[in-house]
Amino acid sequence: MSFLESYAYYVGAFGLILIGLLVILVKRNLIKIIIGLSILDTGVNLFLISVGYLASGTAPIFSREGIDSGSMVDPVPQALVLTAIVIGVAVLALALGLAVRLYQNYGTLDMRKIKELKW
């Protein structure tokens, strides 16, 4: 098994996380920052999934004889990810809602200009 094969998911996950962080760090537009958050979330979720993922693993159901528990895909991370997605969506929704209100108040979404609270 090559490196890429066994770590492809991890590389992807960390790639997404880093992209997300980069977007949050360098972008000024609130919407883009929120997109960055979303990418970060996705990366984390992908990471969680890949923790429990087994290439060519079976579903974690003893549906027939002879299925070894070692070859099953771990179901717990999937449950976790479901929860995490829900939470992520909630945050996203709240963030977008706030973004709309912020735009109404400030007339801009540039976070460099929204600096009334500082020091």
Which residues are at the interface with other proteins (CB under 8 A)? 17, 20-21, 24-28, 30, 33, 37, 40-41, 43-44, 47-48, 51-52, 74, 76-77, 80, 83-84, 87, 90-91, 94-95, 98-99, 101-102, 105-106, 111-112, 114-119
**CA 84/CA 91 separation, integer angstroms:** 10
Quote the distance between the C-alpha of residue 83 and its chain's center.
12
In terms of CB distance, is 55 or 87 closer to other proteins? 87
Q: Smallest distance from the beta carbon of 62 to other proteins, in angstroms?
A: 17
Q: Smallest distance from the beta carbon of 119 to other proteins, in angstroms?
A: 5
User: Phi then psi for 103, rounded to 5 degrees?
Assistant: -65, -40
* Residues recorded for the chain: 119
**CA 29/CA 52 separation, integer angstroms:** 35
Q: Smallest distance from the beta carbon of 17 to other proteins, in angstroms?
A: 7
**CA 42/CA 85 separation, integer angstroms:** 8
In terms of CB distance, is 59 or 86 closer to other proteins? 86
Are the C-beta atoms of residues 14 and 51 closer than 8 Å to each other? no
In terms of CB distance, is 73 or 114 closer to other proteins? 114
Q: Smallest distance from the beta carbon of 44 to other proteins, in angstroms?
A: 5
